[in-house]
Structure 1
Amino acid sequence: MLTLYSYPRLFGVADNNGYGLKVYAFFKLAGVPFEHEHVFDASTAPRGQLPYIVDDGETVGDSETIIAHVIAKHLLTIDALLSPEQRRTNHLITRMLDDLYWVMSYSRWKDERFYPAFRDAFIAQHPQINAAGFEKAKAYNSQRYHFQGIGRYTPDQAYARGIADLQVLAEIVPAAGFVHGAAPTSCDAGIYGFVANIYYFPIPTPLKAFVDAHGNLVAHCERIHELVTGA
């Protein structure tokens, strides 16, 4: 049995991190049987990062590496019909989502307007994490943001970067169906992983305001959410 290890759920989303939710959604869309274990401390994970999987005793980290591994090992056809051009588009979207990740994370941990709501909601749903533990994580993330660079931006500068990414997604995501046609592919799982972690969080960040104002992003997110949760 394949087991996915990823961060905890929040606000009805199966993982409050875009990368873990991407893998979760991919497994659901591709019909891969798996168990899901939620982890709070990533220190023992490969490279100290979540998500990772254990597949018949083999440990694989990094969301894209996980998806490639599972496609190859389990002979999945979810992306089999994609053209070279579509695969290039997927690659570019994946790298753009890597950029969006930092702005999303910044909005939760760095921006003092929104951090308290995120902290309180998380602790309310996962009381085994206390306020002191959350402040420790906040300090750790502040260091990450500084060395990555986003921590040296003003909030307006940071959100401008994230909204530019979302604007491109809004121009790519169709009003009906999925990015590459009538059936979802791994690209849709990736977009859902990040957009759902904005859309379903009732915290009024500029990122959420942008998503809420774009009906195609909302509809795409809700379509994938229904497919992966049955709700």
Structure 2
Amino acid sequence: MLTLLTYPSAFGLFSASPFCVKAAYMLKLSGHPWRRSDLLDPRKMPHRKLPVLRTPERLIADSDGIRRWLEAQGAEFDAGLSDVQKAQSRALIRMVEDHLYFQVVLDRWGNDAVWPILRDTFFTQVPALIRRPVSNAIRRSVLRGLDAQGVSRFDEGERMDRIESDLEAISAFLWQSPFLMGERPTSADLSVAPMLAAMRATPVETALTRRISGDRLLGDYIDRVDRAILLP
């Protein structure tokens, strides 16, 4: 049986990581039997990240790598889509995974009101005596990465303007059909919906959680994808 190595459930989601949710969605749609195995420390994993798929032969790192492996086994996430739709799908995936994802990270790790909840959720395996200094050191490393990426250099207004443009692009597709590419979930939904769900689930109210929670179109879409795939 396949095993998905994933971050644990958190904030009411299958996993706090939208990439782990994406991998779980793909596994469910592929029809392969699989199970989850929760990890908090991915340092021994390929790329030192999760999700990772354990197959009988090897470990498959990264949600894109998992997709390629599942498609090689016969899964078709974009069956029936035109070449243009597949190109649009790829662009949407890159938009949410290479831009909106960092907004989620900043909303969680860069917010002093959210940070204590994250610390107590994700660092429970660190002994209590050293949990605060260890977690604070990791937080500083994450924030340095966000500064290098550039997302944390924008003020709140600039940041929300950039997010709004992406959300409007997603909404333009959803005005036309229940899912991004039509009447059923395809690969774009498996990336976009978990990212929006992660934005909405941050456990302290922020400008970003308010934006998603107050948008009926996006909120209904998140729930519709979840109902359509029904993770265990």
TM (norm. structure 1) is 0.87
Note the 1:1-231 alignment, pairs <5 A: 1-73=1-73, 75-97=74-96, 98-120=98-120, 122=121, 127-128=124-125, 131-132=131-132, 133-174=134-175, 177-229=178-230
Letter in 1 for 2:38: H
Per-residue deviation, 1:101: 0.5
Per-residue deviation, 1:153: 2.8
Deviations 1:38-91 (A, max 9, x none): 211121121112111122222211211211211122x11332211101100111
Number of equivalences: 227
- Contact 1:6–1:51 at 8 Å: present in 2 too? yes
Per-residue deviation, 1:202: 4.1
What RMSD, in angstroms, separates the aligned Cα atoms of the two structures? Answer: 2.3
Per-residue deviation, 1:35: 1.4
Per-residue deviation, 1:217: 1.0
- Contact 2:51–2:61 at 8 Å: present in 1 too? yes
* 3-state DSSP of counterpart to 2:47: helix
- Contact 1:4–1:34 at 8 Å: present in 2 too? yes
Equivalent-residue separation in structure 1 for 2:4 and 2:138 (angstroms): 23
Q: 1:32 to 1:162 in 2, by over 3 A?
A: farther
Letter in 1 for 2:155: T
Aligned-residue identity in percent: 24
Letter in 2 for 1:89: Q
- Contact 1:107–1:115 at 8 Å: present in 2 too? no
- Contact 2:14–2:231 at 8 Å: present in 1 too? no
TM (norm. structure 2) is 0.87
Q: 1:81 to 1:175 in 2, by over 3 A?
A: closer
Q: Which runs of 5+ in 2 are unaligned?
A: none
Equivalent-residue separation in structure 2 for 1:162 and 1:3 (angstroms): 34
* 3-state DSSP of counterpart to 1:134: helix
Letter in 2 for 1:77: E
Deviates more, 1:110-119 or 1:204-213: 110-119
Equivalent-residue separation in structure 2 for 1:81 and 1:27 (angstroms): 19
Per-residue deviation, 1:127: 3.9
Equivalent-residue separation in structure 1 for 2:89 and 2:188 (angstroms): 6
Per-residue deviation, 1:176: 5.5
Deviates more, 1:15-24 or 1:197-206: 197-206
Letter in 1 for 2:75: L
Deviations 1:70-119 (A, max 9, x none): 1122x113322111011001110011012100011000001224334444
Deviations 1:106-136 (A, max 9, x none): 000012243344445x26xx74355524323
